[in-house]
Structure 1
Amino acid sequence: MSIAEKAFLGSLIKAEYLLKDTVIQPEQLESTRHKEIMRRMLELTQAGKNIDLISFTTLPDLESLGGMSYLSELLSYANLEKFDGIEKLILDLWKEREKRNILNVAAINDWEIAKVIGELDKINQAKMDDHTSLHQALSDIYEVPWEDQLTLGSATTGIKKLDEVTGGFQDGEVTILAARPSMGKTDVMLHFAKMSGWAGYLPLLFSLEMPEKLITSRLIASTGGFNRGKMRDPKRMLNENQKNKWSDVIGDLSDTHIQIFDGSGQSIAEMRAKTRKMIHQFPYKKPVIFIDYLTLISSSQVYGGNSHQQVTEISKSLKTMAKDFDCPVICLAQLNRSVESRADKKPMMSDIRESGSVEQDADVILFLYRESYYDKETKNHSLEIIVSKNRNGPVGSAIVDYNEHTGRIDDPKDKNRE
């Protein structure tokens, strides 16, 4: 039987917190006995029991799992240092088996090529290596020396009025940032991420929709005040002044230590595993988790296509993640179209898709509103961030200057700053 699977299960017995964080499902193990052992572990956890040899002795069919001697043998294979590598190996072996399986079924049932490719793609999406640190992404563009920034006290939003209302992002709290498409959600999130990074936190960015290259490009544009359109061909389109600024912008962004994970359809378990990995890599920094966006997160079950149950599960899991890692979690959400049909276009709680559980589980709910989004003639180009729910403080709103061409966000008094 696979040594990797023995080491995996042994590590789970040795450090049961890993069971919550692992992306591996029982059915992804090859050995029938190992599948069964992992299912028992999950059952024990759900029943509020520890996963240790003593708990296993209470199982009526212990012998069919190999008895105490086999479980003790598993424990001897435990290797916590190499756990991430073991996980990856098991995932890779599972993918190979699944691919062979799909190709066999496809041959027997004479599948169309498009269907075969679609099924193979699904397997490839189960991955853990979609991580790009922004530091790495930027050094691909331009190598530059940098200095450590001064660290501030809390994970600031970088918006003075918003910090006054919310006190910044609090540990263990979930903030939902919701708006209609193209209202500026991603730009606001990237602003929050930069600001918390400069304040000495470790921003972990789970981008389920936008690829890393586009995020990096947006961060450079908003930080340097460059028009996003020019980022397509900086050599030809940036003027001399902007080119001289380029290396400073990249140096400043390197200091944020933003980490980007851009795999589509990531599950909360995957995000937890990656967060845990980053905490080990940056032991002196507290993470701030950003997720773009809620309904793109994979749930652990299909729920027969019931999106309300899926959102409920994800919403609860976000809160558990914030508590377990004792860090802020900021998750973006789309608003449904009902906003558009009202005379007053300012968002309300009921505009969040499947809003019930989100409204209940989130500690802070922020809405974005721009008059210029609905009225092209208006001279008002500010963006309003509405604090619609604040479990531990007042509600209110903050007005910021928003440049939709560069994605830059500033406090209103900073109008003339460049």
Structure 2
Amino acid sequence: MLSIPETRDTETTRAERALVGLMIIHPSIIDRCEIELHDYRCVDSDASQIWPVLCELRRGNFPMADLTSLAVEVRKRGIAPASLARVANEAGLPSNENFYIHTLTKQRRKRRLLKLAADALEKLDREDCDVDSVADSLSSGLASIPQLSKRKSRAGDIMMDVLALSEETQQPVRKVFSGISTLDLKMGGFRDGQLIVLAARPSVGKSALAAQMAINAAKDGAKTLFISLEMSAQETVARAMAFETGINMQHILDGTLQIGDVNRLKGLATAYQNEIPLYVEDRSNLTMHRLEMLVKQYSAKQRLGFVVVDYIGLVSSDDSRKSAWEVTEKVSKGLKQLAKSEKVPILALSQLNRDSEKEKQIAIPTLAQLRNSGSVEQDADAVLLLHRESRQSKDATLILAKGRNCGTGKLSLEYNGPKYEFIPAMVDNEFSKDF
């Protein structure tokens, strides 16, 4: 059994005593510590006894006017008043408050890392060790440990940071375009941190439309990751080849190609190898945590510009007791958080329920038909609903059912089945506003 060494360095104990002493003199500091250091465990014996008492009294609105009344409360809890006197005598300077809190935050992070490492080493030492499980647990644990940062909340400070970043880069806000000009004009492109949901009933063409958007983003230079949980990487790429060349996808997969077609496809493959940064992953049993690690892995060397997840309903749960509703809710919230943390737009596909298919004429889909979880709508910055009345129909409608800062509307499209391509209909190439 591996033990975790308890760190008792002088800097930490001094910071603990100085901060607790400051809490006595300036009780408002307790409020900040309750937020930023709520789970901190003191090493110093005096500080470890007095800290929780001060927090308890503060929550109860106890007037901490003098040491005498505090000493009475401390004694009631079986603590020697001498402990209170010692930390009060070592109170730090108010101007050093940030330094003390930073020191203890760093110490808490160090302890968590030590425990995580010790737990992993203990598991790896067993003969029946599941290495993949340990790796997942280690990655999850590392992700849960907050980074040390000087968090800002004042709007003016954040504004200055935004302006400073803009001056440094001298570049406009990054955007990814779908390739459907009318949609791009309406939405202004997909921006970093956005979660865009594309929903449709089965076999309507949502995967084809998502692949089309991914190809366009990659050809514009955005490093693009297409995560397919429904089709193999070969099928996904074969669709891309059909989209690019018009060659029948089945012929590509079966190997029944004409010599001229083979040469065209080899040229296309070479272009994608050397110039077009499109990556396809077809992992099975992918949990939200593993999906997150996969995205971060691709972003490690070069920042991703666009991510597609096909689709939400196939992301696995790491807890078999959870309902489909709970799993979908966790995934949608996880994807939104991932988009923000990695500063990348994520297009996530979702299925609509089949209720309206029972009718003779299939109705135009609505947000209410998003399958399993209303949180998908809440978490998404934009929701696109794709509609075709039948698999044979070339006529399609793309509905912008939710759009933060861009409104709603619908657009008529035409679907070219052999190429897996959607294009704006010639008769109606503008978004209508009557949705």
| TM-score normalised by structure 1 residue count | 0.61
Q: What residue in structure 1 maps to residue 161 of structure 2?
A: none
Q: What residue in structure 2 maps to residue 16 of structure 1?
A: none
Q: What residue in structure 1 maps to residue 333 of structure 2?
A: 316
Conservation of the 8 A alpha-carbon contact between 1:366 and 1:388: yes
Following superposition, the deviation at residue 252 of structure 1 comes to 3.7
Cα distance in structure 2, aligned partners of 1:162 and 1:95:
55
Q: Residue 340 of structure 1 aligns to which amino acid in structure 2? A: E
CA 123–275 in structure 1, closer or farther in 2 if over 3 Å, else same: closer
Following superposition, the deviation at residue 372 of structure 1 comes to 4.1
Q: Deviations over 1:188-212 (max 9, x none)?
A: 1111111111122111122222221
Q: What residue in structure 2 maps to residue 257 of structure 1?
A: 277
Q: What residue in structure 2 maps to residue 339 of structure 1?
A: 356
CA 338–94 in structure 1, closer or farther in 2 if over 3 Å, else same: farther
Cα distance in structure 2, aligned partners of 1:251 and 1:95:
47
Cα distance in structure 1, aligned partners of 2:126 and 2:217:
37
Q: What residue in structure 1 maps to residue 21 of structure 2?
A: none
Q: What residue in structure 1 maps to residue 55 of structure 2?
A: none
Q: Which moved more, 1:170-179 or 1:336-345?
A: 336-345
Q: Where in structure 1 do 4 or more consecutive aligned residues deviate above 4 Å?
A: 47-51, 71-78, 92-96
**Residue 203, structure 1, aligned to residue 224, structure 2:** yes
Q: What residue in structure 1 maps to residue 316 of structure 2?
A: 298
Q: What residue in structure 2 maps to residue 55 of structure 1?
A: 40
Match of 2:264, SS? helix
Cα distance in structure 1, aligned partners of 2:327 and 2:113:
34
**Residue 407, structure 1, aligned to residue 420, structure 2:** yes
Conservation of the 8 A alpha-carbon contact between 1:162 and 1:397: no
Q: What residue in structure 1 maps to residue 298 of structure 2?
A: 278
| Aligned pairs (5 A) from 1:13-412 | 49=36, 55-57=40-42, 97=128, 154-234=175-255, 237-254=256-273, 255-282=275-302, 285-302=303-320, 304-342=321-359, 343-373=361-391, 376=392, 381-412=394-425
CA 94–154 in structure 1, closer or farther in 2 if over 3 Å, else same: farther
Following superposition, the deviation at residue 391 of structure 1 comes to 1.7
CA 258–337 in structure 1, closer or farther in 2 if over 3 Å, else same: same
Following superposition, the deviation at residue 310 of structure 1 comes to 2.0
CA 58–297 in structure 1, closer or farther in 2 if over 3 Å, else same: farther
Q: What residue in structure 2 maps to residue 133 of structure 1?
A: none
Following superposition, the deviation at residue 49 of structure 1 comes to 4.7
Conservation of the 8 A alpha-carbon contact between 2:225 and 2:304: no
Cα distance in structure 1, aligned partners of 2:265 and 2:287:
36
CA 277–153 in structure 1, closer or farther in 2 if over 3 Å, else same: closer
Cα distance in structure 2, aligned partners of 1:321 and 1:309:
18
Cα distance in structure 2, aligned partners of 1:218 and 1:411:
20
Following superposition, the deviation at residue 56 of structure 1 comes to 4.8
Q: Deviations over 1:360-415 (max 9, x none)?
A: 11111111112343xx5xxx5133221111122121223333222231334446xx
CA 335–77 in structure 1, closer or farther in 2 if over 3 Å, else same: closer
Cα distance in structure 2, aligned partners of 1:301 and 1:73:
24
Conservation of the 8 A alpha-carbon contact between 2:204 and 2:390: no
Following superposition, the deviation at residue 347 of structure 1 comes to 1.0
Cα distance in structure 1, aligned partners of 2:355 and 2:297:
40
Q: Deviations over 1:197-245 (max 9, x none)?
A: 11221111222222212212221121111111111233xx323442332
Match of 2:268, SS? helix
Following superposition, the deviation at residue 344 of structure 1 comes to 4.4
Conservation of the 8 A alpha-carbon contact between 2:313 and 2:350: yes
Q: Deviations over 1:11-52 (max 9, x none)?
A: xxxxxxxxxxxxxxxxxxxxxxxxxxxxxxxxxxxx96579x
Q: Residue 214 of structure 1 aligns to which amino acid in structure 2? A: E
Q: Which runs of 5+ in 1 are unaligned?
A: 7-46, 63-67, 79-86, 101-121, 129-151, 414-418
Q: What residue in structure 2 maps to residue 17 of structure 1?
A: none
Following superposition, the deviation at residue 253 of structure 1 comes to 3.1
Match of 2:419, SS? coil
Q: Residue 196 of structure 2 aligns to which amino acid in structure 1? A: T
Q: Deviations over 1:323-352 (max 9, x none)?
A: 111211111111111120233421111211
Following superposition, the deviation at residue 357 of structure 1 comes to 1.1
**Aligned-pair RMSD on alpha carbons?**
4.2
Q: Residue 402 of structure 1 aligns to which amino acid in structure 2? A: Y
Following superposition, the deviation at residue 98 of structure 1 comes to 6.0
| TM-score normalised by structure 2 residue count | 0.59
